[in-house]
């Protein structure tokens, strides 16, 4: 290739197969990155320090003797987590092999154990948060240690505010991470509710930045109309991503109903497991969070689905059990599911004698097709379905 590159992306050629494969929440199922073998050097490990991220995850960082690697001088590398450190049997003073792959942050990939000097001390993971001192916790099934003090640990507070203003959350683009950092240090903003209480005179730089201050305040105030499901995502409940926030909003319809939900009620929501359920319950049992939510409510943020989202569009599909199958062109599967619900129908996943009809797209599976024919169930294509709802 005529350009410098660290790898290639392999893709499925057929557009039809791409459509069938679809996407996960994060990436297409029909494309995958292939990285070339990275350049590798050897240097000495001087010290291991620990960084607390926005989510409270604690990352060990190797501080090394500076070394030239792939065109830049490298002196720090990520060590991922405790298991990784153990698997390397890492000691302070070790000669380590470092690689720089596709990521900007270099990685330690091995230790030169044959040349280890005697009396070196093994690297131990810390047990308390280096930022706030809280004892660290490790959740079942997770490799990382977390600082659980999510409402009092500075990097986590800043991280939550940054998450709150992000495009997919409240979409407040009049401020960025540097501004958040500045406001946090000056004590203007200590949590997301404080954002709505910023006054222009606090941030106008003695009048020299009046215009930009007004723009910032307006940007924040404008965000109060953001729909409930995005407010819920913006709150930054651990393990509640964009999709889960939508599911929870749709199921519980308001934050008041969600707040008092038990773990049993939460896991009834399709796509919500015990880890998410426990995290939601924990979030709403924290006084600090409840206080912030109350203040956000007073500032006019949407704490329930709007009237249109709550009202059924019609009862045209009342009493109907509908199976969706195949690939569609005019709307996504999720959109059809929502249409069915909003018109009084019920989505069911498998075909039975109780199925009212099948909303059938292209490439429906042959076994489903056969079953439908055996049971004499109607198959309705998407344009006929949309006509039904007109
Ligand atoms: Zn902490």
Which pLDDT does position 139 carry in this prediction?
Answer: 83
Q: Of 357, 354, 348, 346, whose CA–CA distance to 379 is shortest? A: 357
Over the stretch 99-150, which tens digit does the pLDDT of each residue have? 886 556 788 999 998 888 888 999 999 999 999 999 999 988 888 999 999 8
Residue 197 CA, ligand 1 centroid: distance in Å: 26
Please determine, for residue 16, whether its predicted confidence score (pLDDT) is greater than 90. yes
Residue 56 CA, ligand 1 centroid: distance in Å: 7
CA dihedral 220, 226, 230, 233 (to 10 degrees): 30
Which pLDDT does position 341 carry in this prediction?
Answer: 84
Residue 190 CA, ligand 1 centroid: distance in Å: 15
Which pLDDT does position 101 carry in this prediction?
Answer: 65
Over the stretch 298-328, which tens digit does the pLDDT of each residue have? 999 999 998 777 776 788 898 999 999 999 9
Residue 178 CA, ligand 1 centroid: distance in Å: 21
Per the prediction, the chain carries an average pLDDT of: 90
Mean pLDDT of 285-300: 95
Residue 148 CA, ligand 1 centroid: distance in Å: 7
Mean pLDDT of 4-25: 89
Residue 279 CA, ligand 1 centroid: distance in Å: 18
Residue 188 CA, ligand 1 centroid: distance in Å: 21
Contact predicate 234/226, CB 8 Å: yes
Distance CA 235, CA 231 (A): 6
**101-110, 206-215, 332-341, 345-354: segment of lowest average pLDDT:** 101-110
Gyration radius (Cα) of the chain, Å:
26
Residue 307 CA, ligand 1 centroid: distance in Å: 40
Which pLDDT does position 150 carry in this prediction?
Answer: 83
Residue 339 CA, ligand 1 centroid: distance in Å: 44
Q: Which residue has the tokens 């280890």?
A: 116
Residue 272 CA, ligand 1 centroid: distance in Å: 27
Please determine, for residue 221, whether its predicted confidence score (pLDDT) is greater than 70. yes
pLDDT band at 6 (very low <50, low <70, confident <90, very high): confident
Residue 129 CA, ligand 1 centroid: distance in Å: 5
Residue 329 CA, ligand 1 centroid: distance in Å: 48
pLDDT band at 58 (very low <50, low <70, confident <90, very high): very high
Which pLDDT does position 255 carry in this prediction?
Answer: 97
Residue 149 CA, ligand 1 centroid: distance in Å: 6
Structure tokens at 295: 């203040």
Please determine, for residue 180, whether its predicted confidence score (pLDDT) is greater than 70. yes
Residue 386 CA, ligand 1 centroid: distance in Å: 53
Contacts 24+ apart (CB under 8 A), 55-59: 55/146, 55/156, 55/159, 55/238, 56/146, 56/147, 56/148, 56/149, 56/150, 56/153, 56/156, 57/144, 57/145, 57/146, 58/126, 58/129, 58/130, 58/136, 58/144, 58/145, 58/146, 58/147, 59/144
């Amino acid at each position: 290739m005529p350009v410098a590159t660290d790898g290639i992306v392999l893709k499925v050629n057929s557009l039809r197969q791409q459509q069938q494969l679809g996407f996960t929440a994060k990436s297409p199922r029909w494309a995958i990155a292939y990285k070339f073998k990275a350049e590798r050097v050897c240097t000495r490990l001087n010290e291991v320090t620990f960084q607390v991220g926005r989510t409270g995850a604690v990352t060990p960082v190797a501080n090394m003797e500076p070394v030239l690697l792939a065109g830049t001088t490298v002196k720090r590398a990520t060590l991922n987590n405790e298991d990784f450190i153990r698997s390397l049997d890492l000691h302070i003073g070790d000669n380590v092999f470092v690689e720089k792959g596709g990521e900007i942050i270099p990685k330690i990939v091995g230790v030169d154990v044959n040349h280890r000097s005697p009396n070196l001390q093994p690297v131990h993971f810390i047990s308390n948060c280096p930022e706030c001192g809280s004892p660290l916790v490790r959740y079942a099934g997770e490799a990382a240690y977390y600082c659980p003090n999510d409402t009092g640990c500075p990097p986590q507070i800043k991280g939550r505010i940054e998450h709150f203003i992000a495009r997919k959350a409240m979409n407040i683009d009049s401020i960025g991470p540097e501004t958040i950092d500045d406001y946090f240090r000056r004590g203007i903003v200590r949590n997301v509710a404080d954002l709505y209480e910023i006054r222009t005179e606090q941030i106008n730089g003695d009048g020299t930045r009046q215009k930009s201050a007004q723009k910032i305040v307006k940007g924040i105030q404008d965000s109060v109309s953001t729909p409930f499901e995005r407010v819920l995502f913006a709150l930054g409940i651990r393990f509640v991503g964009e999709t889960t926030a939508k599911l929870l909003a749709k199921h519980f319809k308001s934050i008041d109903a969600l707040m008092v939900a038990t773990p049993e009620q939460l896991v009834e929501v399709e796509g919500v497991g015990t880890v998410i359920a426990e995290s939601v319950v924990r979030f709403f049992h924290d006084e600090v969070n409840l206080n912030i939510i109350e203040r956000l409510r007073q500032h006019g943020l949407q704490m329930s689905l709007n009237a249109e989202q709550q009202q059924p569009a019609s009862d045209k599909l009342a009493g109907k059990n509908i199976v969706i199958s195949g690939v569609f062109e005019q709307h996504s599967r999720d959109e059809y599911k929502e249409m069915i619900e909003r018109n009084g129908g019920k989505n069911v996943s498998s075909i039975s004698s109780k199925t009212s009809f099948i909303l059938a797209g292209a490439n429906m599976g042959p076994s489903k097709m056969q079953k439908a024919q055996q049971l004499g169930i109607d198959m309705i294509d998407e344009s006929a379905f949309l006509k039904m709802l007109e």
